[in-house]
């Protein structure tokens, strides 16, 4: 068995183009299509709050649920997708969907996975009916009400997701056999505000499959999306050193994961992201958007060209800088991972909060020097991604 790649934070500069904004309404197939999924249309709305009760801006939420008949993966309803993604720019979310049916032995529920700067990933479930359920019943009695949204009027439910502190939402351990307590990144203010203080809760075996979305619909990619060094094929190159990132996606047994979407994003060569939230005064490069996508081949392989990212200061008050790094998002089949690749010998590696939290495992996050496939790039790095615990096989 191969050790899994470490999870890492999504960072504050997750690309807007990756958020699939049309996925906040699962009651329609497409705005221009009359056909609708079967079942009762409902709305789930709420806020994501930090330890001070303030909105947690920029959290990415993924919602995953069964159809109206209680089926996740073999739905008889061809018009229901079951998976939505919402970027809570202002700390609020609003999801329109179909009221899920109940799987055998379960109550109707919606799984929510959260990605944010400050922590790697959190997952929980919300129950639309306060009825017996093995997952809900496994939560300490005094916290169960936090997982049952309030129905404020017919078909409209509301719930706050509290990341940390008083009335902290119960979150579950879906990656490790032994439930963890999340570490708080030293010198990381966002981590202090958003990292749960409570231990993650174990998931009863009957509830495992409902926690990891099956990504069966991947975007149709344009030619050249894996080349971040140009805005489009044949255009002028962005400033900085052009590098190549090659690698593969495999499971813990070493099996290649084909047809998996790999998304990458990184700062430009001056250390700035082309993102509205990045207010550093480093130069913007008009030729560099800093985001790209690719789908793994039969061998699980991927390849990207980008520019060597620059450093940027994360805590001016204590002069803490972030090392050069590249963000990766992996989704497809029954797997979901967000991580970062670092570079050996970077002077800021040892003081980075995520490196401190990973400890000895950090070595697996470093790109290994490799041979470039083209003279158009000056250096190449290999970064193989190993997916940890998954609950079902990818579709053939």
Structure tokens at 391: 């609950």
pLDDT score recorded for residue 333: 63
> What is 21-211's CATH number?
2.60.130.10
Q: How many residues does the chain have?
A: 396
For residue 54, give every residue at least 6 positions away whose Cβ sits within 8 Å of its Cβ, in sequence order, or none: 91, 193
Predicted local confidence at residue 321, as pLDDT: 97
pLDDT in the model for residue 120: 87
In percent, the amount of the chain with pLDDT more than 70 equals 94
Model pLDDT, residue 175: 74
The two domains 21-211 and 242-387 share their CATH topology (first three levels equal): yes
Contacts of 199 (CB under 8 A, 6+ apart): 179, 180, 181
- Mean per-residue pLDDT for 370-388? 95
User: What residue ranges do the domains of the chain occupy?
Assistant: 21-211, 242-387
- The CA distance from 246 to 235, in Å, is 23
User: Pairing state of beta strands 83-88 and 59-65?
Assistant: antiparallel
What pLDDT is attached to residue 20?
58
Which CATH code for domain 242-387?
2.60.130.10
Report whether pLDDT(396) > 70: no
CA separation for the pair 230, 237 (Å, rounded): 5
Query: What residues are annotated to the active site?
Result: 273, 312, 322, 325, 327
At 217, the pLDDT band (50, 70, 90 cuts) reads low
What CA–CA distance (Å, rounded) separates 295 from 108?
A: 33
What's the pTM value of the predicted model, to 2 decimals?
A: 0.91
Confidence of residue 82 (pLDDT cuts 50, 70, 90): confident
* 101/67 Cα distance (integer angstroms): 6
Q: Do residues 93 and 46 make contact, with C-beta atoms less than 8 angstroms apart? A: yes
**Band (214; pLDDT cuts 50, 70, 90):** low
Asked which of 93-107, 167-181, 300-314, 380-394 is least confident by mean pLDDT, the reply is: 380-394
Instruction: Report whether pLDDT(116) > 70.
Output: yes
């Amino acid at each position: 068995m191969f050790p899994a790649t470490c999870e890492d934070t999504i960072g504050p500069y997750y690309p807007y183009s990756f958020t699939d904004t049309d996925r906040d309404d699962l009651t329609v197939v497409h705005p221009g299509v009359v056909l609708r999924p079967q079942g009762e249309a409902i709305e789930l709305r709420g806020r994501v709050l930090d330890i001070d009760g303030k909105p947690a801006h920029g959290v990415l939420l993924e919602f995953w649920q069964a159809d109206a008949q209680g089926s996740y993966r073999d739905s008889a309803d061809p018009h229901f997708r079951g998976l939505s993604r919402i970027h809570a720019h202002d700390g609020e979310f609003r999801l329109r969907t179909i009221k899920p049916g109940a799987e055998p032995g379960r109550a109707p529920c919606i799984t929510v996975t959260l990605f944010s700067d400050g922590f790697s990933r959190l997952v929980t479930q919300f129950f639309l009916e306060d009825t017996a359920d093995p997952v809900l019943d496994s939560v300490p009695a005094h916290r169960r009400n936090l997982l049952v949204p309030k129905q404020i009027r017919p078909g409209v439910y509301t719930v706050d997701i509290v990341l940390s502190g008083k009335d902290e939402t119960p979150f579950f351990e879906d990656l490790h056999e032994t439930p963890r307590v999340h570490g708080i990144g030293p010198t990381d203010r966002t981590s202090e505000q958003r990292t749960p203080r409570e231990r993650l809760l174990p998931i009863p075996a009957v509830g495992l499959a409902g926690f990891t979305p099956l990504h069966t619909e991947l975007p149709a990619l344009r030619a050249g999306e894996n080349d971040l060094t140009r805005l489009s094929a044949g255009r002028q190159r962005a400033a900085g050193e052009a590098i190549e990132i090659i690698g593969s996606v495999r499971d813990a047994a070493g099996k290649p994961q084909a047809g998996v979407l790999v998304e990458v994003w990184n700062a430009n060569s001056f250390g700035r992201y082309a993102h509205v939230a990045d207010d550093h005064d480093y130069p913007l490069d008009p030729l560099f958007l800093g985001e790209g996508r690719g789908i793994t081949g039969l061998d699980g392989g991927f390849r990207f060209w980008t520019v060597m990212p620059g450093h940027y200061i994360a805590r001016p008050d204590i002069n803490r800088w972030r090392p050069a790094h590249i963000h990766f998002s992996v989704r497809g089949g029954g797997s979901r991972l967000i991580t970062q690749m670092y570079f050996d010998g970077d002077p800021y590696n040892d003081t980075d909060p995520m490196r401190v939290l990973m400890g000895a495992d950090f070595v697996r996050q470093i790109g290994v020097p490799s041979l470039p496939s083209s003279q158009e790039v000056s250096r190449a790095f290999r970064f193989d991604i190993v997916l940890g615990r998954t609950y079902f096989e990818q579709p053939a």
